[in-house]
Amino acid sequence: MNRERMRIDRRILAPVALCLGLVTSVLVAAEEPRAFGGGGTGGDTVGSLPMMAGPNTGPVEPSPDEVGVHSGPAQPSFSLVGAEESIQALIIDAYPLGVDASFERVPLANGNVRYQFNGRMGLVLDRTLVAAGAVRAEIVTGTSFHGGVAQLSVAGHVRAQQALLAGAQDMRLATLDQCGALAKNFVWHAISLADIHRVIAVKAVANQIRIEQRD
């Protein structure tokens, strides 16, 4: 019985592993450190999360000799990038999972915005609109996690790893959903060189994609 179950699990997880391998290679190849600076104007909340505004400092790209300089979020943050109306349509709910939960609205040079979710928080997205691709899901990593590692797991099994660089990476959320990873509980677990952790857990349920960002 157990052997038969193991054979079935391997058949299920094999295409997911291939998908994660492709996504990981894209994440590594598409490193584009972009604006870490905060702020802008707009609504005061998304769901029940307060907006945390800061100065719009423009693009920040850490250099190797800036070892003591911190840029970006203290821990990697899930974010959504696109036209503001598309992002607002995509979000069904956003709510705190800890007292540190907040979000930043960051205007981008091309007219789009980034909604960056910081701290421990939950997020519910419209699955159909995620698949449509008008909004890009990203993970923004600050310099405090630069040089760390992230483990990508499906159904509790580590399927891939990636080195962490400071900047914004496309999460390829629609691709992960299409290959079945989100239906089986996808977890992105980052560990810094100082052994600080950040977990972004994603699960597709019916017509929703549920995200929990926690330590």
* pLDDT tens, residue by residue, 29-47: 344 434 333 333 345 556 5
Q: Contact at 8 Å (CB) between 121 and 97?
A: yes
| Number of domains observed in the structure of the chain | 1
Does 155 map to a domain?
Answer: yes
Going by pLDDT thresholds of 50, 70 and 90, the confidence category of residue 71 is confident
Does 64 map to a domain?
Answer: no
Does 25 map to a domain?
Answer: yes
> 164: domain range?
2-59+71-214
pLDDT in tens, 106-161: 999 889 999 999 999 999 999 999 999 999 999 999 999 999 999 999 999 999 99
From the CB of residue 23, how many other CB atoms can be counted at a distance below 10 Å?
23
pLDDT at 109: 87
What pTM was computed for the model? Answer: 0.75
pLDDT at 69: 47
pLDDT at 212 over 80: yes
Number of H helices, E strands in the chain: 4, 14
* Tokens found for residue 52: 């945390």
Only one residue has tokens 């911190």, namely 70
- In the chain, what is the straight-line distance between the N-terminal and C-terminal CA atoms, in Å? 37
Mean pLDDT in the chain?
79
* Tokens found for residue 73: 């979020």
* Bridge partners, residue 162, by sequence: 150
Does 66 map to a domain?
Answer: no
Does 23 map to a domain?
Answer: yes
pLDDT at 36: 33
pLDDT at 9: 52
Going by pLDDT thresholds of 50, 70 and 90, the confidence category of residue 103 is confident
